Chain A
Amino acid sequence: GQQLNQSPQSMFIQEGEDVSMNCTSSSIFNTWLWYKQDPGEGPVLLIALYKAGELTSNGRLTAQFGITRKDSFLNISASIPSDVGIYFCAGQLRPFGNEKLTFGTGTRLTIIP
């Protein structure tokens, strides 16, 4: 099946630092999404990308849909304590209803006081 690998697996940063994480796939996806999961909660959608090469921002978050359609990255600028959590990329073959999400392995973000 399709595999989405995220790196790094975990990050330890200080408040105010910028963060960069990426996601690579063994096959093409036509939609990329980034979700954040807090402990004991469900994933919450941060950014959705629908077109190869697309760069999209949501506040301090910026994500890009790789031109090969096999990768995506997420940047967080000026990190704050509430950014702590696990970040998952997810891919869809088609942006239609009913299309399953394939999730990545996750990047755990920890902010060191």
Chain B
Amino acid sequence: EPEVTQTPSHQVTQMGQEVILRCVPISNHLYFYWYRQILGQKVEFLVSFYNNEISEKSEIFDDQFSVERPDGSNFTLKIRSTKLEDSAMYFCASSEEHNEQFFGPGTRLTVL
């Protein structure tokens, strides 16, 4: 069964460093998303992406964040200068049009 994959599973970084989280969505899906979940809290929407551009972004998704689809298979989330409060699980999701979103296993980001 096709699934969303994410790498790395765990990323540890120093405050102020740049990180890139990678996702491979399900191959025939056209809509891509990033969500985050701070430990013990609910899942929060960050950004949605379609046709090589951002469709919607939340208040969390400030200028420190960017997304990119650098080739036909990968979808990345970059945080330019990480802060302690960026520590969280980051989930990538993808969907077909008019259909449910499927989530990857997540990347745990720890900012020291």
Contact = CB atoms under 8 A, between A and B. Distances in A.
Interface residues of A, number: 23
Interface in A58-113: 88, 90, 95-106
B103 interface: yes
B62 to A, nearest CB: 16
Contacts of A45: 100-102
Interface of B: 4, 30-31, 33, 35, 42-45, 48, 50, 55-56, 58, 91, 93, 95-106, 108
A40 B3 CA distance: 16
Contact of B43 (A43, A44, A96): A43
Contacts of A96: 97-98
Contacts of B98: 95-97
Contacts of B56: 98, 100
Contact of B33 (A88, A100, A104): A100
Contacts of A97: 30-31, 50, 95-99
Nearest to A33: B100
Q: Chain B CB within 10 Å — which of A42, A96, A103, A105 has the most?
A: A42
Nearest to B40: A106
A21 interface: no
A103 B105 contact: no
A43 B31 contact: no
Contact of A103 (B42, B55, B100, B104): B42
29 contacts: A35-B103, A40-B106, A40-B108, A41-B106, A42-B4, A42-B93, A42-B103, A42-B104, A42-B105, A42-B106, A43-B43, A43-B91, A44-B103, A45-B101, A96-B97, A96-B98, A97-B30, A97-B31, A97-B50, A97-B96, A97-B97, A98-B48, A98-B50, A98-B55, A99-B48, A100-B45, A101-B35, A101-B45, A103-B35
